[in-house]
């Protein structure tokens, strides 16, 4: 993978699994990227490589940022994708974690390069994570869908197979590239309530992480994430209670969720109106 910039060569990895998440279209409520970031932090992951931003990013879509470094030196931080090794000595395998912004261009080259890297590192399983906006209530367990490269792996996921047809992101392209190369792979997606899309969703991140643990056989202490998920639910509940119109809409979603049906759209506020209300509420409450 020519655009790969090596910081160092990773240590020997035991039967590694690669877990990938990308900020952007694939990452509603920052759920997927938060799950991988939490995994990296808990396992003490160390970066060993990154991608040359010049090869894959449109800097008008993902602009670099000016930051002040040592002695107030101005530095430019470029959008990129970073690759980490995460040893898990108490588990049967180690991890390779891939996270960063969704690339803007050359997706087939990007995906082929990650597949080549996975094969070179002896990766035995690739798991991609995503999150999407849906008509789901925040009060119910996170709805999960996904697909896998073979039926046995699909059974291990223990979730409903996705029947989605439509536009995809880099997560879908990477999963297809793994399947074409014969590299076992799974794609996990969490549904995020569209009426609170502006807020980071630790509840969905926790749900993704739990599924990842079951698939790759690596467990981490998620008590901090569980606490954040509980706080999130309390904050959203307060926002819902502040507006009878939104509360009625959430109740419709709850009824549809409990009956596995679809919410009745009659006299329901638009997603844009609901999002505006939540943003107003969250601004009033502060961080």
User: Per residue in 33-69, pLDDT tens?
Assistant: 999 999 999 999 999 999 988 999 999 988 999 998 8
Final residue of a structural domain among 189, 221, 253: 221
- 208 with 233, same domain: the answer is no
Q: Could you tell me where the beta strands, DSSP code E, fall in the chain?
A: 4-6, 17-23, 46-51, 65-68, 74-77, 81-86, 95-101, 125-134, 144-148, 160-161, 185-193
Taking residue 252's Cβ as centre, other Cβ atoms within 10 Å add up to: 18
Q: What is the pLDDT of residues 101-114, one digit of tens each?
A: 999 999 999 999 99
- 165 with 273, same domain: the answer is no
pLDDT at 262 over 90: no
Between CA 138 and CA 175 the distance in angstroms is 28
DSSP classification of residue 143: P
Of all residues in the chain, the percent with pLDDT exceeding 90 is 61
Number of domains in the chain: 2
pLDDT at 199 over 50: yes
pLDDT at 190 over 90: yes
Q: State the pLDDT at residue 284.
A: 52
Task: Assign 119 a pLDDT band (cuts: 50, 70, 90).
Answer: very high
- 266 with 143, same domain: the answer is no
Between CA 247 and CA 249 the distance in angstroms is 5
Of all residues in the chain, the percent with pLDDT exceeding 70 is 89
Q: State the pLDDT at residue 195.
A: 86
How much is the mean pLDDT over the chain? 87
- 257 with 152, same domain: the answer is no
DSSP classification of residue 36: H
- 245 with 164, same domain: the answer is no
Q: How far is C-alpha 42 from the geometric centre of its chain's CA atoms? A: 16
Mean pLDDT of 145-167: 82
The per-residue b/e assignment along 143-174, b for 16 or more CB within 10 angstroms, e otherwise, is bbbbbbbeeebeebbebeeeeeeeebbbbbbb
CATH number for the domain spanning 101: value is 3.40.50.10900
- 234 with 162, same domain: the answer is no
Q: What is the pLDDT of residues 138-150, one digit of tens each?
A: 999 999 998 898 8
What phi and psi values does residue 186 have, to the nearest 5 degrees? Answer: -140, 150
Name the residue among 24, 276, 251 with its Cα closest to residue 138.
251
pLDDT at 286 over 60: no
Report the SS3 class of residue 280: helix
- 165 with 279, same domain: the answer is no
Task: Assign 90 a pLDDT band (cuts: 50, 70, 90).
Answer: confident
Task: Assign 89 a pLDDT band (cuts: 50, 70, 90).
Answer: confident
Token pair for residue 46? 């160390």
Lowest mean pLDDT across 54-58, 227-231, 271-275: 271-275
- 257 with 214, same domain: the answer is no
Q: State the pLDDT at residue 49.
A: 96
Task: Assign 218 a pLDDT band (cuts: 50, 70, 90).
Answer: very high
Q: Which residues pair with 148 in a beta bridge?
A: 186
Whole domain around residue 76: which residue ranges? 4-221
Cβ atoms of 171 and 187 closer than 8 Å: yes
pLDDT at 276 over 70: no
- pTM above 0.95? no
Q: State the pLDDT at residue 277.
A: 53
- 13 with 104, same domain: the answer is yes
Final residue of a structural domain among 198, 221, 244: 221
Cβ atoms of 126 and 93 closer than 8 Å: no
- 138 with 280, same domain: the answer is no
Final residue of a structural domain among 170, 193, 221: 221
- 87 with 155, same domain: the answer is yes
- 280 with 241, same domain: the answer is yes
Between CA 122 and CA 94 the distance in angstroms is 11
Q: At what angle do helices 223-241 and 202-216 cross, to 10 degrees?
A: 150
pLDDT at 269 over 50: no
Task: Assign 267 a pLDDT band (cuts: 50, 70, 90).
Answer: very low
């Amino acid at each position: 993978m020519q655009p790969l910039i090596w910081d160092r060569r990773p240590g020997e990895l035991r039967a590694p699994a690669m877990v990938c998440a990308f900020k952007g279209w694939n990452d509603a409520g920052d759920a997927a990227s938060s799950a991988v970031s939490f995994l990296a932090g808990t396992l003490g992951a160390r970066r060993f490589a990154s991608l040359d931003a010049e090869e894959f990013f449109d800097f008008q879509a993902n602009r670099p940022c000016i930051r002040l470094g040592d002695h107030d030196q101005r530095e430019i931080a470029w959008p990129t994708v970073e690759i980490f090794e995460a040893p898990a000595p108490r588990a049967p395998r180690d991890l390779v974690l891939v996270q960063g912004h969704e690339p803007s261009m050359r997706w087939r080259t990007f995906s082929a390069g990650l597949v080549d890297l996975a094969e070179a590192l002896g990766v035995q399983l690739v798991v991609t994570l995503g999150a999407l906006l849906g008509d789901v209530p925040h009060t119910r367990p996170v709805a999960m869908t996904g697909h896998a490269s073979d039926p046995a792996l699909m059974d291990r996921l223990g979730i409903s197979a996705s029947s989605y047809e439509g536009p995809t992101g880099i997560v879908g392209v990477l999963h297809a590239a793994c399947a074409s190369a014969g590299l076992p792979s799974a794609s996990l997606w969490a549904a995020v309530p569209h009426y609170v899309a502006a807020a980071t969703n630790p509840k969905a991140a926790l749900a993704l992480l739990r599924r990842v643990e079951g698939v790759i056989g690596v467990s981490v202490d998620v008590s901090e994430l569980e606490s954040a998920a509980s706080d999130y639910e309390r904050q959203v509940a307060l926002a819902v209670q502040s507006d009878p119109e939104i509360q009625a809409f959430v109740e419709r979603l709850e009824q549809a969720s409990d009956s596995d049906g679809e919410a009745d759209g009659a006299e329901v506020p638009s997603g844009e109106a609901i999002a505006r209300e939540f943003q107003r509420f969250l601004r009033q409450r502060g961080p």
